[in-house]
Amino acid sequence: MKKIQIIAISAILILIAIALFILIIQLISGAETRDYYTYTKAICNDKNFCQDYIVVCENKQIVSSNPITGAAIQHSEIWQDPRENKSEISCE
């Protein structure tokens, strides 16, 4: 009976050791990586008022987009935004 208990306890300890080893290898190797980044983008309205936004992306999804305080400008009426995708915020 004692031999069975020792074998069972040994098997459980070996399984725990293997599970810990696999977990540590995944943490060290970065097996689970996230695509996380931020960028800024100026968004302009039809009156040529442009506000900078900070956009936070994770795994190609927008997590947040918030205006940056003090980062705005009013252009003249004749100014034209030369950028493509002028007001598009995306994480693609």
Query: What pLDDT, in 10s, does the model give residues 11-23?
Result: 888 888 888 888 8
For the ranges 32-41, 44-53, 60-69, 74-83, the lowest mean pLDDT is seen at 32-41
Whether the model pTM is above 0.95: no
Element (H, E) at 71: strand 61-74
Give me the residue spans of the domains in the chain: 1-33, 36-74
Sign of the torsion angle spanned by Cα atoms 14, 16, 19, 25: negative
For the ranges 3-17, 21-35, 43-57, 68-82, the lowest mean pLDDT is seen at 21-35
Which is nearest to 90 in space by CA: 51, 43, 30?
A: 43
